[in-house]
Structure 1
Amino acid sequence: MASLLETFDGHQSLTLAQISRRSQLPPSSAHRILQRLVELGWVERHGFEYHLGLRMFELGAQVVRRDGIHQAALPYLHALHRSTGLTVHLSALVSADVLHLECVGTQPPAEDSWGLGARQPAVHSAAGRALLAQLDHADWPALSFPRSATPGGVRDRADLEHNLRVVRDRGGVAVDLGSCSAGVTAVAASVGPAEGGLRVALSLCGPSAAVPVENAVRAVRRTARDIWYAAAGVTRRPPYPLLPLAGAAVSA
């Protein structure tokens, strides 16, 4: 079952032949297991294609939402989205990727990698680099360097080291100018220190022309700090608009 469910990683739907090939299970075995998973609600079948079922989503949501930072972040994510019109993500570092735990807003069109539950390479994403900048090299996962969507993206470890120095100089805020998706700018900051627990980052993203970068840097830094305080039970201020749509200045 585990090897079969793993085949859906990065895929919305698969046929029996695709599942059998990706899981390296005989078609008859794959079909028998799929039938049981359909009965349990873990997988759904539509015609000749299979999808992960709602029961899998429910179980995954229970795992994610038990985290105190996630719970504390929700009102701030929605407030930041309402005030900016940009998409807000809460993402965790998982191996060499960032996994989007929450997505408030409409992710860039036709870009599945920005959706809830999707993954992006940590070296290319603002969230990933904000989190890596906090870690000692010994604590880094085994990183990969896939080709960037733009020529200016991170190509190797030397590029990454240079980028992380810029992140630290900016007070821990990472800015990505199209490395994950051409024409999309993202700004991210880690929520809390790197020690222990779930390592998560807050980010704003949208079409590059619609993201006032310096205002977004201040807003993301401030909101990430407020989420951390709220998770610790110290609510410094209620969520409120931080970044006017027209790119007007945001107080520090």
Structure 2
Amino acid sequence: MATAQIDDAPAAMIDRVASLLESFVGQRPLTLAEIARRSHLPRSSAHRILQRLVELGWVERNDFKYALGFRMFELGSQFTRQRSVHRAALPIMTELHRRTGLTAHLSMLTGAEILHLERVGIAPGYAAEWATGARQSAVLTAAGRAMLAELPEAEWPELSFPGPITPYSIHTAALLDRDLERIRDRGGVAIDAQGSALGITAVAAAIENGGAGAQFAFSLSGATRTLRVDAAIAEVRTAAATVWRVAAGVPPLRPRPVLVRRG
């Protein structure tokens, strides 16, 4: 019985916090009495939870009224951006796969790994590692290293270096540093030639995020013997820039008019 009570306590507290936060939906700043009434919580419990949420930045207090805080805005903005990037990327990925035959991935940096949010095309290498929803080590992948190259080192997650999967894998900090220099010299494009799987080359570019929110990358991969690296570099660079523009709502660039001199 004691164990069941301990297990139920966190869930009950989460329910209380969720009920309290939901009381703000569609509302102006609320007083403690209004929050307690709308959330169906005892006034003392609502006050205790609110104090902690104010400390965390999830709720802010102005005199005797409370409103959602900046941390809620940041989390909401990150979620909205993730969805907008996904919507912007999918048609571009589909068109690139149709035109090149290469496999396109949209990936996100999460800790020391990348998470594949979307894939268009047959999975290269081992299907389980390249499937939508699968994770791979950031240091072992072109997408992961493209995103790391865009981040100041102080903002890196705590990286791990798994043993090399192939003789070409990045598996030490020194190898990573040298590869990141090459990526920056290449204008932000990362190339992984058989480092994640023998016979597979991936080319990736980070998607601009305006200095906030999650990190995303666009990549193309295919058989090393047939993938044209120079062409893939141009494709991922253009695709990553286009995804950013569409997701951010930036109008496409218009070509400059060509002045024709009449004789």
**CA distance in structure 2 between the aligned counterparts of 1:194 and 1:157, rounded to whole angstroms:** 27
Displacement, 1:236?
A: 2.0
The percent identity for this pair of structures is 46
1:205 aligns to 2:221 (yes or no): yes
Counterpart CA distance in 2 for 1:232 and 1:103 is 21
Give the structure 2 partner of residue 227 of structure 1.
Answer: 243
TM-score by length of 1: 0.66
- Contact 1:65–1:71, Cα closer than 8 Å, also in 2: no
Partner of 2:105: 89
- Give the aligned partner of residue 38 of structure 1: none
Paired residues of 1:134 and 1:194 also in contact (CA < 8 A): no
* Residue 71 to residue 136, structure 1, CA distance change in 2 (3 Å): same
Corresponding position of 2:120: 104
Native 8 Å contact 1:64 1:101 kept in 2: no
Choose between structure 1 and 2: higher helix proportion.
2
Q: 1:111 to 1:76 in 2, by over 3 A?
A: same
Partner in structure 1 of residue 129 of structure 2:
113
Point out the structure with max Rg over C-alpha: 2
**Residues 234-249 of structure 1 correspond to what in structure 2 (within 5 A)?**
234-236=250-252
Find the counterpart in structure 1 of residue 233 from structure 2: 217
3-state SS in 2 of match to 1:88? strand
Which residue of the partner structure matches residue 140 of structure 1? 156
Distance 2:210 2:179 in 1: 18
Matching of residues 1-252 of structure 1 within 5 Å = 67-108=83-124, 110-193=126-209, 195-236=211-252
Q: Which has the higher contact order (CA 8 A, sep 6+)?
A: 1
Give how far 1:193 is off. Answer: 3.8
Q: Distance in 1 between matches of 2:215 and 2:207?
A: 8
**Displacement, 1:194?**
6.3
CA contact (8 A) 2:199 2:224 kept: yes
TM norm structure 2 = 0.63
Compared CA separation, residues 145 and 207, structure 1 to 2 (3 A)? same
User: Quick one: distance in 1 between partners of 2:85 and 2:152?
Assistant: 22
**What code does the residue aligned with 2:200 have?**
V
Counterpart code for 1:77: M
The root-mean-square deviation of aligned C-alpha atoms, in Å, is 1.9
The question of whether the paired residues in 2 share the 8 Å contact of 1:149 and 1:178 is answered with no
Could you list the per-position Cα deviations for residues 25-83 of structure 1 after superposition, in whole angstroms to 9, with x for gaps in the alignment?
A: xxxxxxxxxxxxxxxxxxxxxxxxxxxxxxxxxxxxxx799621111111111111111
Q: Is the 8 A contact 2:140 2:171 kept in 1?
A: no
Task: Give structure 2 stretches of 5+ with no counterpart.
Answer: 1-78, 254-263
